[in-house]
Amino acid sequence: MFFQLYRRQYNFSLDRKVYSLGILTFLTMGLDLFITIGGRAGDGSFLIGDILAKVFRFIGYDVLTYRDFPSNIRGLPTYYSVRASDKPIYAVKDFIDYLVTFELEAVEYFKRSYSENTVIIYDNSIKDIKDLDVKNYGVPFKRMSISSLGSELFKNTIALGVLTYILGIDEKHVLNILMETFMKMRKDILDKNIKAYRIGREYAIGNIEGREVAIKTIGRGGRLLLNGNEAIALGAIIAGCRFYAGYPITPATEIMELLIMHMPKYQGIAVQAEDEIAAINMIIGASYAGLRAMTATSGPGFSLMTESLSLAGMIEVPIVIVYVQRVGPSTGIATKMEQADTLQALFSGHGEFPRIVLTPGTVEEAFYMTTEAFNLAERIQCPVIVLIDQFIAQNRETVNTLDLSRVRIERGKLITSEVIGDYRRYEITDDGISPRTIPPVKGGIYLANSNEHDEKGYTAENPWIREAMVNKRLRKLEVAKKTLKELFPYKIYGYKDARIAFIGYGSVHGVILEVIERLNSKEPKAKYLQLMYLWPFPSEEINEFIHNTDKIYVIEHNAQGQVSELVKWTTGVGISKILKYDGRAFRPIDVLRVVENG
């Protein structure tokens, strides 16, 4: 096994060579660390990853975390990475600066992620790894934990002590966060963790040859450390969502858990349904009865919901569906990222009805776009899908203070008091949107009818009514198009006149930002169009953007280039796809290599 390990390392050395050809400069400016902690599911390595992220946030750095973990509760390998920098961070870093691991297989797993700066700190309780051509320390984390604290449970906190010593982080900040974290638990657990932390620190003082770096507090405060699921839950409550129904599914479950915990304080209800079909029908019912209502799910659950998605389209009930993509098809890999459900989000559901698909590219955007999703749903009276993926959903990053004054509540054509005269819920209007009542509004009786219906909602099969109703519903898409343009004016990054163009959405947003920043430090220059929504498809904006470019790259986390094909479709020009579909995030270098090789 070790021979093989060595042989493969040869590969990563090659990698490093390619890498060092021209891009390194970028990384040496300012502090920009990428630390990975390797353990096993359930062994608490996520906890110290979180602590590390919090420490960095606390002392003023921008932080982005990245978890690579199995769809299993305990025992399989799991990795938590933290990137911290004094400049804005958009993506994971190309190479690992520090790998702290309790399991030897991690050393091989990351072989393509080492640079000449990498330092590996591994648990040598059982054996030492020989022939490692990367700087490394073997530390007996487990052994120390057992001998000093009677259990190997504290190896993580010992490692935290070693690592933060090497990084030269002031002890008091670490202790601070440690206390905050363990205070909620039993007193003896807090004490033992503090002891473990000290053991690690002292071991390092005695055994590690001097500090690697010395990280200063730069004291930028006020920012939040949030992941997309948290931002969306927050956004929903703030937007006035008062009904949630869902069914547990990785990586969307946390949204439900957060809403069940917090919604009641704002007189809202969040329920766990018996399945996703029940969930979507519950929110349709609640919305019919007047509440802003939402569900969140992933691929398998969304597939089950599509019959009723079509219902919401037909009866023009506003709903918000958060669609957190994971690796497919079928069960796939529940805990990994992918953007391969995009076409399903745009085109599933039988029959034709308007829908809106929003694609936030950062945690912060996930927050604001969720609040707008409710406005759009009620203004256009149609389902709105907030499409993200596991990367944005489950990885925390530092976010600027969220600005409540940017959040508006607009409920569209909603009638809440008595209607005099002949009320027609599905009145044929110029913009296709008809005023809706909610029970028990007097004079506002109507039928929300999944059958084709007349203006009052009653079943009608006559060809003239049918045609008029289809047209009415589809006219709303035009309103959606206009509204979206106003709400989310297209963001173009980089040099306006560049002839190299990038297009992306969702979780590739950050990586493209870093890529163009790096590209633009030399010639030729590049620009980037972030797609903030995918339906109605922003063809005009794309066509405008690609005007006068030589090369267009569309970057996606899927194998077929789903949006790439749509871009081709609407522009009629050739595009290059840069795709990744192994469940792991693009590193900037993955993109740059393709670009540099033409």
Partner 1 sequence: MVSEGEFILKNPVWCPGCGHYAVLTALRRAVVKANLKPEEIVLVTGIGCSSRFTDFFRSYGFHGVHGRALPAAIGIKMANPRLKVIVASGDGDTYAIGMSHFIHAARRNIGITHIVMNNQVYGLTKGQYSPTSVRGFISSTSPKGNLEKPIDGVLLALSAGATYIARGFSGNLDQLIRLIEGGLRHKGYALIDVLSPCVTFNKLNTYEWFKRNILDIEQINHNPSNRLEAFKMILTSSKILIGLIYQSTEETFEDLMMSSIGGVPIDANISLGENNYENLIKEITSI
Ligand X SMILES: Cc1ncc(C[n+]2csc(CCOP(=O)(O)OP(=O)(O)O)c2C)c(N)n1
457: left (phi over 0), alpha (psi -120 to 50) or beta: left
Of 47, 315, 369, 380, the residue at the interface with a second copy (CB under 8 A) is: 315
Residue nearest to ligand SF4 (CB): 73
Q: Identify which range of 204-212, 245-253, 515-523, 546-554 contacts partner 1 by CB under 8 A.
A: 245-253
> Closest approach of Cβ 596 to partner 1, in Å?
39
Of 247, 368, 533, 553, the residue at the interface with ligand X (CB under 6 A) is: 247
Q: Is 103 in the site for a second copy (CB under 8 A)?
A: no
Q: State the binding string over 377-416 for partner 1 (x if CB under 8 A, else -).
A: -------------------x-----x-x----x-------
Which residue type, as a one-letter code, is found at position 590?
Answer: D
Tell me the site size for a second copy, rule CB under 8 A. Answer: 66
CA distances from 136 to 20, 131, 157 (A): 21, 10, 19
- Considering only residues 269 to 328 of the shown chain, the ones binding ligand X according to CB under 6 A are 276, 300-301, 304
Q: Is 40 in the site for ligand SF4 (CB under 6 A)?
A: no
Task: Indicate which of partner 1, ligand SF4, a second copy, none lies near residue 251 (CB less than 5 to 8 Å, by partner kind).
Answer: none
> Closest approach of Cβ 386 to partner 1, in Å?
17
Q: Is 558 in the site for a second copy (CB under 8 A)?
A: yes
Of 221, 248, 264, 351, the residue at the interface with ligand X (CB under 6 A) is: 248
> Is 502 in a helix, a strand, or coil?
strand
Q: Which residues pair with 271 in a beta bridge?
A: 245
Please, what is the angle between helix 299-315 and helix 276-288, to 10°? 30
Q: What is the 3-state secondary structure (H, E, C) of 197-214?
A: HHHHHHHHHHHCCCCCCC
b/e burial code for range 219-248 (CB count within 10 A of at least 16 → b): eeeebbbbbbbbbbbbbbbbbbbbbbbbbe
Q: Is 73 in the site for ligand SF4 (CB under 6 A)?
A: yes
Q: Is 264 in the site for partner 1 (CB under 8 A)?
A: yes
Q: In what order do the strands lie in the sheet with 533-535?
A: 269-272, 241-246, 292-297, 319-325, 383-389, 356-358, 533-535
Task: Indicate which of ligand X, ligand SF4, a second copy, none lies near residue 73 (CB less than 5 to 8 Å, by partner kind).
Answer: ligand SF4
Q: Which residues pair with 119 in a beta bridge?
A: 98, 135
Of 249, 283, 369, 513, the residue at the interface with ligand X (CB under 6 A) is: 249
Residues 6+ apart with CB under 8 A from 342: 325, 387, 534, 556, 558, 562, 563
> Closest approach of Cβ 330 to partner 1, in Å?
6
Task: Indicate which of partner 1, a second copy, ligand X, none lies near residue 464 (CB less than 5 to 8 Å, by partner kind).
Answer: a second copy
- Considering only residues 20 to 59 of the shown chain, the ones binding a second copy according to CB under 8 A are none
Task: Indicate which of ligand SF4, ligand X, a second copy, none lies near residue 310 (CB less than 5 to 8 Å, by partner kind).
Answer: a second copy
Q: State the binding string over 461-500 for a second copy (x if CB under 8 A, else -).
A: x-xx-xx--xx--x--------------------------
Q: Is 41 in the site for ligand X (CB under 6 A)?
A: no
Tokens of residue 358, six digits: 């929003």
CA distances from 588 to 80, 220, 253, 487, 529 (A): 18, 26, 29, 29, 17
Q: Is 470 in the site for ligand X (CB under 6 A)?
A: no
Q: Please give the biggest Cα pair distance in the chain.
A: 87
Q: H/E element holding 98? A: strand 96-101
Contact residues for ligand SF4, defined by CB under 6 A: 73-74
